[in-house]
Amino acid sequence: MSKQVQRKKPVLPTIRDMAVGTSTDFPLARFNSVRTSCVIANMQYGVRCSTHIDRKAATITVTRVE
């Protein structure tokens, strides 16, 4: 019996490659990594993004603004 393992999507490359106006979700457990990656993406690549936390779904949504 094989067990499928879902790989984590990398945060910074995902944010960097998003088109303006698109959103993606990450697990809330990765909150610190996501927020840090948003700051790094802004500093290094000029990518601006906003975040929204949904506590019920335990997700953090990143939306690319600029």
Starting at the edge strand found earlier in the chain, the sheet holding 59-64 runs: 23-27, 59-64, 49-54
> For residue 64, what are the CA distances in angstroms to 2, 15, 32?
37, 7, 18
Q: Alpha-carbon Rg of the chain, whole angstroms? A: 13
Tell me the CB-side half-sphere exposure of residue 42, using CA atoms within 13 A.
13
- Structure token digits, residue 26: 């990450």
5-47: per-residue pLDDT in tens? Answer: 446 889 999 999 999 999 999 999 999 999 999 999 999 999 9
Specify the pTM.
0.83
